[in-house]
Structure 1
Amino acid sequence: MVLWAATPVLGANPDLLKGANAIIDQEEKVFTVHSLSKGTTYVKRVVTIYNEDGNDHAKLYVHHDKLNKVDFIKGTIYDQNGKKIKSLKNSEIRNVSASSADNEVLDNRVMIAELTHRVYPYKVEFEYQTTTSNMLFYPRWVPLNSSKTSVARATFQVLMPKGMKLRYRESNLAKGVKQTATATHDVYNWEIANLTPVEIEPYAPSMLELLPMVRTAPSDFEVQGYKGSMDTWEAYGKWINQLNEGRDALPEATKAKLQAMVAGIEDPVEKINKVYEYLQSNTRYVSIQLGLGGWQPFEASFVDSKGYGDCKALTNYTKAMLQAVGIPSIYALVNGGSDEHDVLADFPSSQFNHVILSVPMKQDTLWLECTSQFESAGFSGSFTGDRHALLITSGGGKLVKTQKYTAKDNVQSRLATVKLDESGNAVAQVQTRYTGIEHEDHRDAIHNLSPEEQRKWLYRNISIPAFELKSFSFDLKKGRMPEVNEKLELSLRQFVTVSGKRMFLNPNLMNRWNTVPQNSGKRKYEVVRSNAYTNVDTIVYEMPAGFALEFKPNDLSFSTPFGKFESKVTIDGRQVTYVRTLQMEKGRYKPEVYAAMVAFMNDVYKADQQQVVFVKSIQ
């Protein structure tokens, strides 16, 4: 193993210094597979920190649990001339729980070491080793894993016992793997040098797509006596089947109760809804990650008697209940989260963090989120929608896509009437319907906030400069495409500008675009729009008596691959009607189209600032 000799910081590569808060002078990572069920990871990292914003590199976090042990942690800090300041003492290493929520039961812990200095620049050297008996996961190598950081040199080595196969996937590497061998191991080596900070661009792909990276995974593996293969999704699913086998038995009394509950119901969807409502009324979510319990569900009978479980246990329980009433369903792994990246379909491996239930129907598939006490049956939304899920069928794993939500599904439709007085003040009655993913923020506010907290939430989220919320109400309608209907009564102070005898009205009441990304010239990365939606605003104004129209903006309509925009103002006596429709698409586009997207957004921005001008009639 290469050891670092202290050298002055003054010799740093000036190209690496540009835009960097820290430089990783050297990182060495070695993963040694000892058997199907045991492996060791050794890491040594030397970092030069140039300012306060780079101090995160002076902190080390090493996770451990029942299946992952920390063998040792060492650390040393040096000044800019390479002179040793101090070494890390074992008593200075904190060992804390990784749990951050009241509904988590974990054996995950984190060892935290810190060697921060206040005179810049300075060097920090960390060295540690962990041993795992959880060979479901092989390490991922990401030498450049933070912004405004450079890497002078980094290496990654994997040692596989003769006869064991390593599977790997390389991304954004200048040089691929170099393979060698010893008498006992096949050795895989990767090396990178002189990496500068990754440029941050608006609407860029996930950083995981842009960074140099090597993902590794086993072919054959074993976790606590359960052997499996990860060569294919089918094989991985068979391993999950091993973990789940025999855990779906329900007490006969519960079966009888469920069957009585759906007696006389012929519609399968109605049966599913009955069982789902029973689940939500009688269980609660508790995250339980203890050893193999991170992947193996508690028995359905346990959840039935205790009334709680994690995503695996609750999904397994729901599957068992549906089976009891004659509805077949399929346990499914997914990567859950509104901002989570999709799995790599071409690299079978353990890429999932959540479990949901797939219920095949005649026309389509109904997906159930079994951890929520208020979600609508069949709604995947932003948490698990439009991504790959691994169905754990009787024959093994099968990768499929969950429901996609389009601009026609995610709709915000608003109708408002606004009465203005001569001083520019107004009162408004606003009704807005939110559907699909657009309803999620309101759904969460309804279930998680008190009425007073809801009022404060509305004040934060209503985009009007000066207003008083006189009253509000929400109505949540569940369904596969749920919706929230919101009613607001608003008092608007100086909503329009009065200057002399003129009145200037911006007819876009509360849905204006106020910012637009900059067009910075030549773009490096693809353009990614991650959400699709439609906004329709119809605002009807009653103008005060004695004002005549002086200027009305032209009707606008423009369409691009990114979206469509229309706006129209009509005048009928004292009534002004403004209709605005904006439809934005989800998609991925070549870098050179970014300028066109910014131009489209600028057009929307300008349209949203247009005003209708009235002049007071001379008496």
Structure 2
Amino acid sequence: MKLAGFLLLILLLRPILLISQANITVHQESLEYVIKRPGDANLKVTKSFTVHNIKGLESAVFTLYHDSFRKLKNFKFEMTNDRGERIEVYNIRDLLDLSLSGYANVTDSRVYLLDSKYKKVPFRVHYTYEMDFSGFISLDDWQPIKDFNTIIEESKISVKYPRDMTFEVMAVLGMKEPETYCDDGFCHFKIEYKNIKPISKKRYDEPLRDQTPRLLMKSNDFQLDGIDGSLASWKSFGDWYLKLNRRDEQITPKTRSDVENIRNSFDMVPELVDSVYKYMQSRTRYISIQLGVGGFKSLPAEEVDTKGYGDCKALTNYTQELLSIAGIKSYQVLVMAGSNVPRLIEDFPSNQFNHVFLAVPHENDTLWLECTSQTMPSDYLGSFTDDRKVLWVDQGNSQIVKTPYYSVEQNLVLEHVKISLTENGHAKIEIKITKGGNYFEEGQSYLYQATEEIQKSNQEKFSFSQYSIDHFAFEMDQDSLLLKEVYVLNVPSFAKKYGSRLVVDMKDFVKTSRISANTSDHFMRLLRNYQVVQTIEIIFPENHILQHANENLSIKKEFGEYELKVKRSPQGVQYYKKLILKKGDYSGDEFIELQEFMNGVFKNEISKIMLSSKT
């Protein structure tokens, strides 16, 4: 009887325990698509949820993007308190309709916003709306789990489409396969989830989008702004993109003459491409333009040539035209750009892109050109477009390729630190840093910021409790792709004084971090190779000797290595440290080994050095 009573208590407490782990509970969410023909569809949305705590308040802020192809109707938003009493009811007239245009951004995209400002939790939200589509390429991915710490009681989606339309879905990351049937000239599919427990944020360097079940949806035939296209293959999508942007480009005689002069000045392709690229950079600036089919259609090259601005499509198209005048063949490349973005799903041709740049084949290699930057060197891919699958657009032969990434040897940070201590613990610290690979791009901000902005940014780079920067200088070597930085710091009480002893805390120079030990999901993605080599030289004040320092240490694993060499002398001590981490996905036993390695390195890094007075 005691056991039965205990089990009954557990069953009664289970809902309470789940709610204690959740910020919101989604009672019902329903999406119903009806596709009448390519480019013509209607969506009905219903959602009801409870906000349990202040961390869930953001979920009660309603946002919905719309443009000339998406029209909202029949909107209703209702809030009730924990006693079921109505707090407020809103309709479409209460929505703020905000433009997304802004600095360097011209668009007809807008966002509806509704924020009730109500904060007395718990409370319940119920809303419904419809959206009419007059043009689209593919439907938005459906993912029932949209946020961490969310209970989902019911979430479902259904799609109705003409029987003669080829409609495809792909279930990924454990998504259920849809139920399908056809009748009366239409086909239907639906998926329903119930009683999903909350998940907490525990995977490192991986967005939620890549962790939970997701459904990709598309019609092979689509229409946007009256222009027909096909997603049957990457080849057909590439052909549509080229058709959309096909025109007889006109370049002014002056520009054509300039490019021809450049062509006559160089014999080697890389030097010619670099010179044309720099010519383009000197004449243009980036501004995002998203009007009509602006997400895909470029401004004419002639307009960029005369006005001197364009978005990624326009500047890429313009650069391609300039290279063509110089006798260089180039190709546009579509990419999902960003430092940590979802991976392209190659088996499902669809619009998985947000950016375009340029590629120039040369012998057995490719030169890559980011055309939206006025300062980026040619053939440099930073974290915005490196190491990912992209669509190489070529008439009749568009295909998925992969952009290069930087090796351990290239993704390098070399740091030399010289610390001159005084008897009272004050320090003059001279730091010289050389950065390559992905870290080279960190210098781009220096080229755009005013001196005051750089000074403010530098004041936040170091973790000392109190310090001043007496000198700062930088140099960006466009040929070697190396960024060099020099800092001279004045740090009062850098070393803590205890009687006749000085204690130096090395935690201010740590270049790694711990991996939490409380994760139950043993997975970590290291996005990029990483190597940092530090030489830290500490010059003792007169009449002081070393009492304690680290011992030499060397660890080598498949995923990386760590080395520490300590060199002692009467005048001071020198720490030589090297940390290498290799990109990859680490799970199971590999994750545990990586976790032990990282935590061991961190523990060794936060050590202290102790000096004592000779007198």
Q: Is the 8 A contact 1:205 1:525 kept in 2?
A: no
2:190 partner SS: strand
Q: Distance in 2 between matches of 1:113 and 1:418?
A: 54
Q: Is the 8 A contact 1:205 1:526 kept in 2?
A: no
Which residue number in structure 1 is paired with residue 588 of structure 2?
Answer: 591
Which residue number in structure 2 is paired with residue 432 of structure 1?
Answer: 433
Structure 2: state its 5+ residue gaps. Answer: 1-11
Which residue number in structure 1 is paired with residue 477 of structure 2?
Answer: 477
Offset at 1:62?
2.0
Which residue number in structure 2 is paired with residue 501 of structure 1?
Answer: 500
Offset at 1:360?
1.0
Which residues of 2 match residues 264-275 of structure 1 at below 5 A? 264-275=265-276
Matched, 1:616 2:613: yes
TM-score scaled to structure 1, two decimals?
Answer: 0.92
Offset at 1:492?
2.6
Q: Distance in 2 between matches of 1:132 and 1:272?
A: 42
1:141 partner SS: coil
1:481-504 deviation digits (Å, cap 9, x = unpaired): 622111122223222233333333
Which residue number in structure 1 is paired with residue 279 of structure 2?
Answer: 278
Q: Distance in 1 between matches of 2:148 and 2:171?
A: 21
Which residue number in structure 1 is paired with residue 364 of structure 2?
Answer: 363
1:304 partner SS: helix
Moved more, 411-420 or 347-356: 411-420
Which residue number in structure 1 is paired with residue 460 of structure 2?
Answer: 460
Which residue number in structure 2 is paired with residue 602 of structure 1?
Answer: 599
Which residues of 2 match residues 354-433 of structure 1 at below 5 A? 354-433=355-434
Q: Is the 8 A contact 2:527 2:583 kept in 1?
A: yes
Q: Distance in 1 between matches of 2:93 and 2:524?
A: 48
1:521-558 deviation digits (Å, cap 9, x = unpaired): 6x335321223221111122322332333334211111
1:140 partner SS: coil
Moved more, 379-388 or 512-521: 512-521
Matched, 1:191 2:192: yes
2:58 partner SS: helix
The residue type equivalent to 2:183 in the other structure is T
The residue type equivalent to 2:613 in the other structure is K
Offset at 1:36?
1.4
Q: Distance in 2 between matches of 1:135 and 1:317?
A: 26
Alpha carbons of 1:571 and 1:13: their partners in 2 closer, same or farther (altered >3 Å)?
closer
Alpha carbons of 1:418 and 1:120: their partners in 2 closer, same or farther (altered >3 Å)?
closer
Offset at 1:474?
0.8
Q: Distance in 2 between matches of 1:553 and 1:135?
A: 62
TM-score scaled to structure 2, two decimals?
Answer: 0.93
Q: Is the 8 A contact 1:381 1:405 kept in 2?
A: no
1:298-328 deviation digits (Å, cap 9, x = unpaired): 1111111111111001000000001111111
1:91 partner SS: helix
1:222 partner SS: strand
Q: Distance in 2 between matches of 1:52 and 1:502?
A: 48
Q: Distance in 1 between matches of 2:428 and 2:97?
A: 57
Offset at 1:293?
1.8
Which residue number in structure 1 is paired with residue 515 of structure 2?
Answer: 517
Q: Distance in 2 between matches of 1:510 and 1:16?
A: 40
Offset at 1:13?
5.0
Which residue number in structure 2 is paired with residue 74 of structure 1?
Answer: 76
Matched, 1:214 2:215: yes
Alpha carbons of 1:365 and 1:603: their partners in 2 closer, same or farther (altered >3 Å)?
same
Which residue number in structure 1 is paired with residue 451 of structure 2?
Answer: 451
Offset at 1:560?
2.3
Structure 1: state its 5+ residue gaps. Answer: 1-9
Moved more, 379-388 or 14-23: 14-23
Offset at 1:66?
1.1
1:382 partner SS: coil
Which residue number in structure 2 is paired with residue 251 of structure 1?
Answer: 252
Which residues of 2 match residues 25-64 of structure 1 at below 5 A? 25-64=27-66
1:106-130 deviation digits (Å, cap 9, x = unpaired): 1011222345655543322211111
CA RMSD across the alignment: 2.3
Which residues of 2 match residues 125-204 of structure 1 at below 5 A? 125-173=126-174, 175-203=176-204
Moved more, 162-171 or 203-212: 203-212
Q: Distance in 2 between matches of 1:48 and 1:554?
A: 56
Matched, 1:579 2:568: no
Which residues of 2 match residues 247-326 of structure 1 at below 5 A? 248-326=249-327
Offset at 1:251?
3.4
Q: Distance in 2 between matches of 1:514 and 1:280?
A: 37
Offset at 1:144?
1.9
Q: Is the 8 A contact 1:60 1:126 kept in 2?
A: no
Which residue number in structure 2 is paired with residue 225 of structure 1?
Answer: 226
Alpha carbons of 1:334 and 1:510: their partners in 2 closer, same or farther (altered >3 Å)?
same
Alpha carbons of 1:114 and 1:432: their partners in 2 closer, same or farther (altered >3 Å)?
closer
Matched, 1:98 2:100: yes
Offset at 1:174?
6.3
Which residue number in structure 1 is paired with residue 242 of structure 2?
Answer: 241
Offset at 1:424?
2.2
Q: Distance in 2 between matches of 1:420 and 1:16?
A: 55
1:460 partner SS: coil
1:139-158 deviation digits (Å, cap 9, x = unpaired): 32122212222111111001
Alpha carbons of 1:85 and 1:584: their partners in 2 closer, same or farther (altered >3 Å)?
same
The residue type equivalent to 2:316 in the other structure is T
Q: Is the 8 A contact 2:203 2:521 kept in 1?
A: no
Moved more, 138-147 or 283-292: 138-147
The residue type equivalent to 1:478 in the other structure is Q
Offset at 1:434?
1.2
Offset at 1:577?
1.9
Offset at 1:587?
1.1
Identity %: 27
Q: Is the 8 A contact 2:82 2:123 kept in 1?
A: yes
1:57 partner SS: helix
Which residue number in structure 2 is paired with residue 7 of structure 1?
Answer: none
Offset at 1:219?
0.8
Offset at 1:175?
3.5
Q: Distance in 2 between matches of 1:531 and 1:87?
A: 49
Alpha carbons of 1:574 and 1:11: their partners in 2 closer, same or farther (altered >3 Å)?
closer
The residue type equivalent to 1:267 in the other structure is M
Q: Is the 8 A contact 1:77 1:115 kept in 2?
A: no
Q: Is the 8 A contact 1:381 1:437 kept in 2?
A: yes
Offset at 1:510?
4.8
Matched, 1:542 2:544: no
The residue type equivalent to 1:46 in the other structure is S
Q: Is the 8 A contact 2:75 2:91 kept in 1?
A: no
Which residue number in structure 1 is paired with residue 7 of structure 2?
Answer: none
For 1:19, which of 9, 21, 38 is the aligned residue?
21
Q: Distance in 2 between matches of 1:509 and 1:53?
A: 32
Q: Distance in 2 between matches of 1:597 and 1:205?
A: 17
Q: Distance in 1 between matches of 2:250 and 2:610?
A: 71
